[in-house]
Amino acid sequence: MAKISRLSLAGLRNLAPVALDTDSMNILITGSNGAGKTALLEGISLLATGRSFRESRLQRCQQWQATQLTLYAEVDNCQGQHKLGWQRYKQNTQLRLNGEQITSQAQLARQLPIQVFSPESHDLLTHGPNERRRFLDWGAFYQEASFLPAWRRYQHALKQRNHALKQQRPDNEIALWNAPLWDAAQQIHQTRSKYTALLAETATPLLAQVSDSLQNIQLSYQAGWPEHETTLMTLWHQQLAHDRQLGYTQAGPHRADLKLRIEDRDALSLLSRGQQKLLALTLMLAQAQLLRNAIQETPILLLDDLAAELDAQHQARVLTLLPSLNTQTFLTATNEDSLKLLSTQRQHWHLEQGNIRIIQ
């Protein structure tokens, strides 16, 4: 289980430089609008992944007047204690792990796995198949070491085949890409199908705990071609003329989807926004559990503004579920109502105009 025991930051958004020690599993961060709550979670996300979850331009995260942005954390995980450093100075980012300079952000991500849930996170379900595939692939990547190489091979072969289609190359030249494409497609298909089954198995009891209306959700993986009617190879041959007209390959795992149904109806069109959000959150929690099984490490949860769309009852159901997940959780709120619902291993940080103090 990964756990932050010390966090220090300087030059981040509106936050005053600070160093915070914690031995708690649940940290509630309160403050009024604009106090800097999301910025604090953003800092953890930057340190872990090199990216903000709400902003694509790093420059915007750095405090306007500051010359540098510095983040540091001490993290306990199953491999011991690690010191992680991240600094941005004049457009350059420097990373440190246990006092040594490193070049790969992935090394920090490995020591500090995180999962972020923000008011925008339900986009992962509602913003179309691309986002849902990305969600699945993130889990599949940790589940099976061969997934990423297969995914890369597939992307490469697909790009080449599409290029050949656009260039109106002869049939035999286009068909040359079918074999490598098929080989990678099978692996992707198998891993994603297996992962979806695991996800469904893990999510079902969690869904029943968080909401009565979500307990009948069924998850299934849709391959990206009618897999029960034909093989992908046959389809690529059959659709060649049409692929040529379009200039791209129509069928394959790049068109796959994670389907969510309630009694044979599309769940996403039936559910309210709040229910969609709860569903997305629960699937993320299920993913966190699977990650623990896959890499023996539980990610830290960053839950930004849980109250944004969840009513008090559903928030309570989510919060009371947290101890069973055994993850360190940082959550933000504009008030401290949720404090009483957190397990005794909790801490309360309060922010006022960028100044943070530990209340208890």
Binding region for Mg ion (CB under 5 A) out of 34-42, 144-152, 165-173, 293-301: 34-42
Note whether 34 binds ligand ATP by CB under 6 A: yes
Nearer to ligand ATP, 10 or 185 (CB): 10
Binding region for ligand ATP (CB under 6 A) out of 33-41, 120-128, 233-241, 321-329: 33-41
What mask of x and - would describe binding to ligand ATP in positions 39 to 78, judged by CB under 6 A? x--------------------x-xxx--------------
Which amino acid makes up residue 13?
R
Strand order in the sheet with 80-89: 18-21, 3-10, 68-77, 80-89, 92-97, 100-102
Torsion angle, alpha carbons of 203, 204, 206, 209, to 10 = 160
Binding region for ligand ATP (CB under 6 A) out of 36-44, 75-83, 125-133, 276-284: 36-44
In this structure, what token pair is assigned to residue 317? Answer: 């159901």
Residues in 318-357 at the binding interface with ligand ATP, rule: CB under 6 A: 334
Note whether 38 binds Mg ion by CB under 5 A: yes
For residue 266, the cross-strand partners are: 261
> 31 touches which of ligand ATP, Mg ion, none (CB within 5 to 8 A by kind)?
ligand ATP
Binding region for Mg ion (CB under 5 A) out of 9-17, 35-43, 204-212, 320-328: 35-43
Nearer to ligand ATP, 36 or 113 (CB): 36
Q: Closest distance between ligand ATP and the C-beta of residue 124, in Å?
A: 20
Note whether 253 binds ligand ATP by CB under 6 A: no
Cα separation values, 295 from 63, 141, 143, 203, 299, Å: 35, 11, 8, 18, 10
Note whether 14 binds ligand ATP by CB under 6 A: yes
Note whether 275 binds Mg ion by CB under 5 A: no
What mask of x and - would describe binding to ligand ATP in positions 287 to 306, judged by CB under 6 A? ------------------x-
Three-state SS for 167? Answer: coil
Binding region for ligand ATP (CB under 6 A) out of 34-42, 267-275, 309-317, 342-350: 34-42
Binding region for Mg ion (CB under 5 A) out of 31-39, 51-59, 121-129, 195-203: 31-39
> 36 touches which of ligand ATP, Mg ion, none (CB within 5 to 8 A by kind)?
ligand ATP
Residues 142, 69: Cα–Cα separation, whole Å: 30
Using alpha carbons, select from 207, 149, 204, 206 the residue that is nearest to residue 180: 149
Q: Closest distance between Mg ion and the C-beta of residue 300, in Å?
A: 18
Residues 96, 111: Cα–Cα separation, whole Å: 12
In this structure, what token pair is assigned to residue 176? Answer: 């040359």
Q: Closest distance between Mg ion and the C-beta of residue 95, in Å?
A: 26
> How many chain residues interact with ligand ATP (CB under 6 A)?
16
Return the residue matching tokens 């309360």.
348
Sign of CA dihedral 268, 273, 279, 281: positive
Give every CB contact of residue 243 below 8 A, 6+ residues apart in sequence. Answer: 165, 174, 236, 249, 250
Classify residue 9 as exposed, middle or buried by CB count within 10 Å of its CB (0-12, 13-18, 19+). buried
Phi-psi region at 11: left, alpha or beta (left = phi > 0; alpha = psi -120 to 50): left
Residues in 150-189 at the binding interface with ligand ATP, rule: CB under 6 A: none
Binding residues for ligand ATP (CB under 6 A): 13-14, 31, 33-39, 60, 62-64, 305, 334
Binding residues for Mg ion (CB under 5 A): 38
